[in-house]
C-alpha cells in the first residue's frame, strides 16, 4: 500500500481536485491512503477570522467567514459534490459559534487556535472524499482525531507514537483489507482525552509519514505544486534545477535549515522504517519528481541544494569568568532547556556560545538564569544559508569558493565540519537573495544530468 498526501495548492479549486481524482484513480490498485491539507489558504484565513473576532471585529470576522464558506460551496457545486453540503454547512455553523464566543471573551488561546484551524482539513477531506466517490472510487472518510493521538502541546503537538501507531492500524487497516480508500486529514490530531490539536504549520506531511510508517507502506508520496526538491528556492532563482534523488540525511539538513517543500519532522518516521518518500507535482503527475531514500546515487556535484531560513536571531552567551569549557557548555545548555528555546544551530568556542533561534523567542529567562556567570546579547534580522550535500568534509576547497563568492556580504559566522552534510553561513537577512544567487552560480555551473533535471 502507499500513502498519498495532497497539499493545499493541489486541491485549491475544482480543476485541481478533478486532477487529484485522476491521479488517485491511476494508483487505486496500489491500495492508497489519502491525506489532505486544507484547501488553498483556508487555515490562515480561519486564524485571521479568529483573531479579528478576538479583537472585537465581529462583523468583519463574520463577513470573512461567509466569503470562505462561499469559496467552498462554489467549489463543491463545480464538482457536483452536493451530497457533502450538509456536513460542510454544519462545520461552518460550528465555526460561526466559535467566532461569536471569541468576540465575547476576547481571548484566543492556543487550544482555541487548534480547534479553529482544524476545520480547514475537516472540510477539505469531506469534499475530496465525495469527489472520489463521484469518480467511481470506494472512498471512506476517517477522522484523524480518532487515531493521531498527541500530547497537549497545542499548535505544535507531538504525536504519542506508540498509541498513534496502534490506533492507525486499528482504524485504517480494515478499510484497506476491504479494498476501500481511506481519506483523512493531515495536520490535526487529538489528545488522549479527545481535545483537538495540530502538529504545526505544514504538518500534513508529518501526518502522512506517521501513517505510512505505522502501516509499513511501500511508498509515501507528497503531492504539491513544485516538481520536487530544487537546487535553490525558485522564488529567488526561477531557473533552479530539480534533484532526482537525495538521501534522508541530506533532506533532513535541508528541511531543518529552511527548505519549505517538506515539514522538518516528515523524514524521521519514513527513515526509521526505510520507506522512500517521493515528492511529485500534482500539475505534472507524470514527472519524475524527487525520491528521498536511505542512500542516493553517487554524483560529481558536491552540493545538492542551497537552503535558507530568515529571519533568525543570534544569541551570544559569553562567560564572565574563566571556566572549563565542558562545565560552561553544560551550564548554558541546561539553561537553554529550562528557557524552552528552540535552537536551529549552536556554535561554540572556549568561552562563548552562539545560539541561532527564532526571532520571536524571548531570551529574558535565559539572561536571568545565567547571571552572574555569563552575559547574553541578541542580534536580530539575521539568516542561515546552508549548502547541503554528501561528505562535504572531503572537499576542503569548498569553503574557499564560498568565501570568494560572498565574502563581501559580511558573513558573521561559518559552521563547517559539525556535519558532513552541510556548510552553514550566518549573515544579514537582507543579503540572503544575493548570497543564494552567487553561490548557486558558482556551485552549479557544471550540473550532473544524472542527478538534476
CA distances to 220, 243, 244 from 293, in Å: 11, 13, 11
pLDDT value for 264: 84
2-225, CATH topology level:
Carbamate kinase (3.40.1160)
pLDDT value for 372: 86
Task: Provide CATH 3.30.2130.10 ranges for the chain.
Answer: 303-443
pLDDT value for 24: 99
Find all residues with CB under 8 Å of 40, minimum gap 6, and list them.
8, 9, 12, 13, 71
pLDDT value for 321: 81
- Work out whether the CA dihedral 220, 221, 222, 228 comes out positive or negative: positive
Averaged pLDDT, 94-120:
97
Q: Is the pLDDT of residue 378 over 90?
A: yes
Query: CB neighbours (10 Å) of residue 52?
Result: 21
Annotate the chain with three-state secondary structure.
Answer: CEEEEECHHHHCCHHHHHHHHHHHHHCHHHCEEEEECCCCCHHHHHHHHHHHHHCCCHHHHHHHHHHHHHHHHHHHHHHCCHHHHHHHHHHHHHHHHHHHHHHHHCCCCHHHHHHHHHHHHHHHHHHHHHHHHHCCCCEEECCHHHCCEECCCCCCCCECHHHHHHHHHHHHHHHHHCCCEEEEECCEEECCCCCEEECCCCCHHHHHHHHHHHCCCCEEEEEECCCCCECCCCCCCCCCCEECEEEHHHHHHHHHCCCCCCCCCCHHHHHHCCCCEEEEECCCCCCCCEEEECCCCCCCCCEEEEEEEEEEEEEEEEECCCCCHHHHHHHHHHHHHHHCCCEEEEEECCCEEEEEECCCCCCHHHHHHHCCCEEEEEEEEEEEEEEEECCHHHCCHHHHHHHHHHHHHCCCEEEECCCCCEEEEEEEHHHHHHHHHHHHHHHCCCCCCCCEC
Q: Is the pLDDT of residue 324 over 80?
A: no
What is the percentage of the chain residues whose pLDDT exceeds 90? 87
pLDDT value for 71: 98
Averaged pLDDT, 133-156:
98
CA distance 289 to 281: 7
Categorize the per-residue pLDDT at 417 as very low, low, confident or very high, splitting at 50, 70 and 90: low
CA dihedral 41, 45, 47, 53 (to 10 degrees): 180
Place of cell 471585529: 57
Cell numbers standing for residue 244: 532526482
Lowest-pLDDT range of 132-141, 342-351, 421-430: 342-351
Q: Is the pLDDT of residue 325 over 90?
A: no
219-267 per-position pLDDT tens digit: 999 999 999 999 999 999 999 999 999 999 999 999 999 998 898 899 9
Beta bridge partners of 150: 159
pLDDT value for 394: 83
- C-alpha closest to that of 412 among 284, 271, 312: 312
According to DSSP, the β-strands at 343-348 and 352-357 are antiparallel
Q: Could you tell me the pTM of the whole model?
A: 0.91
Cell numbers standing for residue 416: 563547517
Q: Is 286 exposed, middle or buried (0-12, 13-18, 19+ CB in 10 A)?
A: exposed
Averaged pLDDT, 108-123:
98
Report the chain's mean pLDDT, rounded to a whole number.
Answer: 95
Q: Are 317 and 346 in contact (CB under 8 A)?
A: no
Cell numbers standing for residue 202: 505544514
Averaged pLDDT, 129-147:
99
Averaged pLDDT, 439-445:
94
262-287 per-position pLDDT tens digit: 988 999 999 999 999 999 999 999 99
Categorize the per-residue pLDDT at 297 as very low, low, confident or very high, splitting at 50, 70 and 90: very high
Lowest-pLDDT range of 28-42, 237-251, 348-362: 348-362
Backbone phi, then psi, for 216, in 5-degree steps? 55, 55
Q: Is the pLDDT of residue 56 over 90?
A: yes
Residue with more model confidence, 325 or 319: 319
Task: Provide CATH 3.40.1160.10 ranges for the chain.
Answer: 2-225
Query: CB neighbours (10 Å) of residue 406?
Result: 21
Respond yes or no on whether the N-terminal peptide bond of residue 330 is cis (omega within 30° of 0).
Answer: no
183-230 per-position pLDDT tens digit: 999 999 999 999 999 999 889 999 999 999 999 999 999 999 999 999
CATH number for the domain formed by residue range(s) 303-443: 3.30.2130.10
Cell numbers standing for residue 239: 531557473
Amino acid at each position: 500500500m502507499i500513502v498519498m498526501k495532497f497539499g493545499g495548492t493541489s486541491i485549491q479549486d475544482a480543476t485541481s481536485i478533478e486532477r487529484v481524482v485522476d491521479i488517485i484513480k491511476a494508483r487505486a490498485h496500489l491500495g492508497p491512503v489519502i491525506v489532505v491539507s486544507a484547501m488553498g489558504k483556508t487555515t490562515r484565513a480561519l486564524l485571521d477570522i479568529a483573531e479579528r473576532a478576538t479583537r472585537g471585529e465581529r462583523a468583519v470576522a463574520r463577513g470573512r467567514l461567509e466569503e470562505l464558506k462561499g469559496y467552498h460551496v462554489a467549489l463543491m457545486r463545480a464538482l457536483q459534490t452536493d451530497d457533502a453540503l450538509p456536513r460542510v454547512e454544519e462545520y461552518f455553523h460550528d465555526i460561526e459559534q466559535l467566532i461569536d464566543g471569541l468576540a465575547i471573551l476576547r481571548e484566543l488561546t492556543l487550544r482555541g487556535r487548534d480547534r479553529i484551524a482544524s476545520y480547514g482539513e475537516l472540510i477539505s477531506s469531506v469534499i475530496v472524499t465525495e469527489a472520489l466517490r463521484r469518480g467511481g472510487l470506494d472512498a471512506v472518510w476517517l477522522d484523524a482525531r480518532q487515531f493521531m493521538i498527541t500530547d497537549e502541546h497545542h499548535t505544535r503537538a507531538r504525536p504519542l507514537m506508540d498509541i498513534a501507531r496502534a490506533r492507525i492500524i486499528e482504524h485504517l487497516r480494515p478499510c484497506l483489507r476491504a479494498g476501500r480508500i481511506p481519506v483523512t486529514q493531515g495536520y490535526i490530531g487529538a489528545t488522549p482525552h479527545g481535545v483537538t490539536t495540530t502538529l504545526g504549520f505544514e504538518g500534513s506531511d508529518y501526518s502522512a509519514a506517521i501513517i505510512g510508517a505505522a502501516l509499513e507502506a511501500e511508498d509515501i508520496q507528497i503531492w504539491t505544486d513544485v516538481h520536487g526538491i530544487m537546487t535553490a528556492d525558485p522564488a529567488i532563482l526561477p531557473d533552479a534545477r530539480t534533484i532526482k534523488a537525495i538521501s534522508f540525511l541530506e533532506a533532513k539538513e535541508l528541511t531543518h535549515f529552511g527548505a519549505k517543500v517538506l515539514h522538518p519532522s516528515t523524514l524521521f518516521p519514513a527513515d526509521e522504517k526505510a520507506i522512500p518518500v517521493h515528492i511529485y507535482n500534482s500539475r505534472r503527475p507524470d514527472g519524475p519528481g524527487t525520491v528521498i531514500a536511505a542512500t542516493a546515487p553517487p554524483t560529481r556535484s558536491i552540493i545538492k541544494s542551497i537552503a535558507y531560513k530568515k529571519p533568525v536571531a543570534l544569541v551570544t552567551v559569553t562567560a564572565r569568568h574563566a571556566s572549563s569549557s565542558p562545565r560552561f557548555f553544560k551550564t548554558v545548555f541546561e539553561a537553554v532547556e529550562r528557557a524552552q528555546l528552540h535552537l536551529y544551530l549552536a556554535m561554540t568556542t572556549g568561552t562563548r556560545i552562539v545560539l541561532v533561534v527564532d526571532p520571536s523567542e524571548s531570551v529574558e529567562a535565559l539572561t536571568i538564569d545565567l547571571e552572574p556567570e555569563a552575559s547574553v546579547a541578541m542580534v536580530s534580522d539575521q539568516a542561515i544559508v546552508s549548502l547541503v550535500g554528501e561528505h562535504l568534509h572531503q572537499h576542503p576547497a569548498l569553503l574557499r569558493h564560498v568565501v570568494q563568492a560572498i565574502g563581501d556580504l559580511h558573513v558573521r559566522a561559518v559552521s563547517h565540519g559539525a556535519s558532513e552534510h552541510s556548510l552553514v553561513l550566518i549573515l544579514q537577512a537582507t543579503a540572503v537573495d544575493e548570497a543564494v544567487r552567487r553561490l548557486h552560480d558558482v556551485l552549479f555551473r557544471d550540473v550532473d544530468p544524472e542527478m538534476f533535471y
